[in-house]
Structure 1
């Protein structure tokens, strides 16, 4: 079930065709250490060509803005492919990013926007409602934190699953 805070916002996001809220606990518990089973991690033949045609992250674009821009043009395939692509190009030292996002409820790219991140500015909310492009406020290179438009949910070890602003 989606958090009530995001229920109105998510009606405008293009989520993948999977029924995320009805996914059973066994499906997610079969993932070892928060990762999918080994047979899904094997590289596919068409994966290299897909990565070449994928949208490139803009300079100083944050992860949520990149995911929002990409999910508007590409359908979600049920994996964290876009998140991994962003990490490889903009934040290669963030090795635990996928594991942390899965702990926050993001098992695919569209679920990251649905469960782990929410818009907090009027401009971001309006862009989501009108389905228009959102201009990222920018982050430093190598950062996985969102820009000023978004708020990242903190997981169990990051504050009990609350949506909190970063401290000054």
Structure 2
């Protein structure tokens, strides 16, 4: 797995965010039995940039905690069986599946950790697990979809020993 990380946010985090990001992305891929080596881009940013991106790509002019940009269309969530039908989904040099991009707003992540009463590591890990599921075709538009995502997120984090 290749995890490309871009730190746009100026204030350093007080935990090993690179290690947490790698562990959670790998755990999510393993949990969903992804049969490919993958490439994922992770951007850690601030309020202004995530609001601009949210406005530009979703027509929602407000700050959000995380944005996910899947590169693959799934017939069913977590079903990678059709990926090889479109070889544009794979990096031409490495052969890795281009899964997509994740953008996390660090100030929002920090605020949510405090308001939810758990640590920044847990909130950061949660946002990555949540976004990874979006990259693998899951959504939470209906109560049923939300329940599936919530269960999977919780199990991914529990398997890593990351709890509230």
TM-score (norm 2): 0.29
Greater fraction strand: 2
Normalized per residue, which structure has more helix? 2
